[in-house]
Amino acid sequence: MTYRVSLRWLCLGFIIFGVLSPFLVSFVGRGATGTLLAVAAWLCIALLPIIYPVIALKSGLVYGEGSTSHRALEPARFWIGLVTHEALLLAFVLLATFCLQVYLHPA
């Protein structure tokens, strides 16, 4: 397994854990375990905007909907795709941060 493929699987694992762990927190309930799971989920989501550009820049590929942009062949399309992915990931991190704040400081 190559380095690039293993990092992509790591990102996929972070996304799955970050999305599914709030459901796990609802079953565990409030307390130390629930808070630990909520913070771990947020951390997984927060690391994605850092890991994804590293993967894209090392591999020179950005995967889009049904297509792949190569940095060497289509530099403009590659950079537009990378910036778009990064903006969406940062918006998702902002949403996850708001959700964590609501969980940690209930009204």
Provide the 3-class DSSP secondary structure of residue 106: coil
**What's the token pair of residue 87?**
């903006």
**10 Å Cβ neighbour count for 66?**
5
Confidence tier at 1 by pLDDT (50, 70, 90): very low
| pTM for this model (two decimals) | 0.78
Handedness of CA 97, 48, 32, 21 (dihedral sign): positive
| pLDDT digits 0-9 by tens, 29-68 | 888 888 898 899 999 999 999 988 888 888 777 766 666 6
Q: CB–CB of 86/49 below 8 Å?
A: yes
Domain hosting residue 64, numbered range? 3-104
pLDDT at residue 21 in the model: 86
More confident residue, 95 or 26: 95
Return the C-alpha torsion angle 32, 35, 36, 41, nearest 10.
Answer: 160
Domain count, the chain: 1
